[in-house]
Chain A
Amino acid sequence: MAGLELQHIEKTFGRTRVLHDVSFEVGDGKFFVLLGPSGCGKSTLLRIIAGLEPQTHGSVSFGGQCVDDVPPPARDVAMVFQHYALYPHLTVRENLAFGLKMRREPKPVIEARIAETATLLEIHDLLDRKPKELSGGQQQRVAMGRAIVRKPRLFLFDEPLSNLDARLRASMRVELKKLHQRLGVTMVYVTHDQSEAMTLGHAIVVMNHGKIQQIGRPEQIYHEPANPFVAGFIGNPPMNLFEGSFRLDQRQLEFLVGDLTFRFPFQAHERISANTGMATLGIRPEDVKFEPQGPGYVAITGTIDLVENLGNDSIVHMMVKGQSLTARTSFGFHQHAGESITIHVKNFHLFINDNRIPLPSP
């Protein structure tokens, strides 16, 4: 059964359309991530799920039931906000109790739930403090607690970690994942941070300009990006994308960019209607090898521009026949800027008309 289902959601503010025909389904108990750059409509989508914002068209259902006409207080969802939104005039304990009191839970139940949540999040010592007496990380925990304590049927997270520093963010990410494993409740998580999306999500929706670009498991989105946007958005450093042209003859597809030419054995494909046209070729920095490999690899020579040493990794920026290309290598890399180098690549991503075209190895 689907925990959450969106059907053909559209949203316009005045004349601006911020969501275009968004549909997806979230399995019960799954951790679902909405990923995209800021302004892509992901937060608006979350607010539509919460009922804080009405959709212009389309429908939202929870567990098979349409909730379009259900106001937020009755939707039984909990939301963790980017800025936490703790009630500043209430203590942590009162903040946790607030939602339960509003739902007229008996007092012993409220106390038991608060105790349970405080144990889970280790915030016992903070219960009698006011939000402004807490650090950012502590406020984050309390905000999480306020969601957990209610035992809602759906958790919504709106970039909850974006205000924390990098170290705290990484540890909260782990805790969040553990929390989901313990509670087993459906969670929808909005973020612009791909590493949060990749590590947390059972499934990821990549959005841009109010449209869904791709829905899939994290590894699917990484290995088989549906279009150049997803390809460039996922991965660090981002995928090298070359805008060029293609020529199709008989059983071979030729991709040309500047002085570079790549040839792939190729069968006709339904998505390619013409024999020539514009195309985008992608190479992941981590797929670039510096040692000669087995058969199927293409060797290209170039010049090193800059080497960034990250300790165990090095990021190598180079020029290859007039095109700039970035590579990531996990071995000790000893060459320097200005030296010439030969790289070996096997995995290519080809996009024609913004669609992924599966490529056999050359």
Chain B
Amino acid sequence: MTHRPVLLGGIFLAVLGSLCPFLWFILTSFKSQILVEAIPPTWWPDGSLVFYASALFEHRLLHYVRNSVIVAGSTTVIALVVATPAAYALARLRLPGKTWVLGGLLCVAMFPPIVIAGPVWQILERLGGLNTHWGLVLPYVSLTLPLAVWILTTFFHELPVELEEAARIDGCTTWQALYKIMLPLATPGLFTAAILTFIYAWNEFFFALLILTDPERQTLPVGIALFQGEFIMPWGEIAAASVIATLPLIILVLLFQRGIINGLSAGAVKG
């Protein structure tokens, strides 16, 4: 009990530390041009919405949001559709070399993007995938799959085999047992995998910059980065755009959090 105040203080400091840049951005986004460049800097904004208007209308921010939703959304859906049966098989079947497969996946996830950038670009060029959304979704899916498979494998592994066997005896095929019994119970895992995949695809900058040169198709991180002109750095617009870009993630996390916390498998098996 005596450690409690120390612990709480530590948590508060850690949270404050990681929130600081965000707070600064939020404050900046509500300032007017004069306040942004004021020296010494001022803390409190004057509540101006000029930067928001500029980001939304002059820089066509919503257009980038749309592109990001398409890319991140498809990446998440495709990655989960592929990862779920893969994870199920890895968690349940007596496969030879299973640990090697899981280890291999982990290694693939560790590759620095710059190492595969060249080959990915060449492959996409041959396939005609440059400057298309699917051309970006494809590498995103392969980069997020390892994590999704790992998360889901862990989840399926923890669900009791007896449940699946009960479903088989009750008349389910393996697939029916998967989507009628196991999937509903693995929803916390699905949520976790989905949100991490979505965040990755939403934030990814390097491949998006490499593959999408057409402003019509660019995603949010690239779009915002290209706000800056040759001689000007529009901090205010960038701050406003970043706030708008972060909002969907915060909303998603809050929504999914309830799903993640719901201990659905509690009471599945006694003891």
Contact = CB atoms under 8 A, between A and B. Distances in A.
A87 interface: yes
B267 A99 contact: no
Contacts of A133: 267
A147 to B, nearest CB: 9
Interface in A66-120: 71-73, 75, 77-79, 81-89, 98-99, 102-103
Interface stretch (B4-12, B104-112, B163-171): B163-171
10 contacts: A52-B168, A71-B168, A73-B168, A73-B169, A73-B172, A81-B166, A88-B185, A99-B169, A133-B267, A163-B270
Contacts of B265: 88
The winner among A77, A82, A88 for most chain B CB atoms within 10 A is A88
* Chain B interface helix/strand/loop/mixed: loop
Nearest to A47: B165
B117 interface: no
A99 B270 contact: no
Contacts of A238: none
Interface residues of B, number: 24
A50 interface: yes
Contacts of B115: none
A40 to B, nearest CB: 20
Given A73-B173, A98-B170, A89 B264 contact: yes
Given A139-B270, A163-B270, A163-B271, A87 B163 contact: yes
B266 A83 contact: no
Given A73-B169, A77-B169, A89-B264, A102 B270 contact: no
Contacts of A86: 166, 268
Given A132-B267, A136-B270, A139-B270, A87 B166 contact: yes
Contacts of B170: 73, 98-99, 102, 146, 150
A83 B269 contact: yes
A107 to B, nearest CB: 16
B184 interface: yes
Interface of B: 160, 162-163, 165-173, 176, 181, 184-185, 264-271
Nearest to B263: A132
Contact of A52 (B165, B172, B264, B267): B165
Contact of B271 (A77, A83, A131): A83
Given A81-B162, A85-B163, A88-B185, A50 B169 contact: yes
A150 B166 CA distance: 13
Interface in A41-58: 47, 50, 52
A317 interface: no
A139 B162 CA distance: 15
Nearest to A98: B170
B270 A88 contact: no
A211 interface: no
Given A81-B166, A85-B165, A99 B269 contact: no
A151 B265 CA distance: 28
Contacts of A20: none
A247 interface: no
Contacts of B270: 83-84, 136, 139, 163
B269 A84 contact: yes
Nearest to B159: A88
A98 B167 CA distance: 8
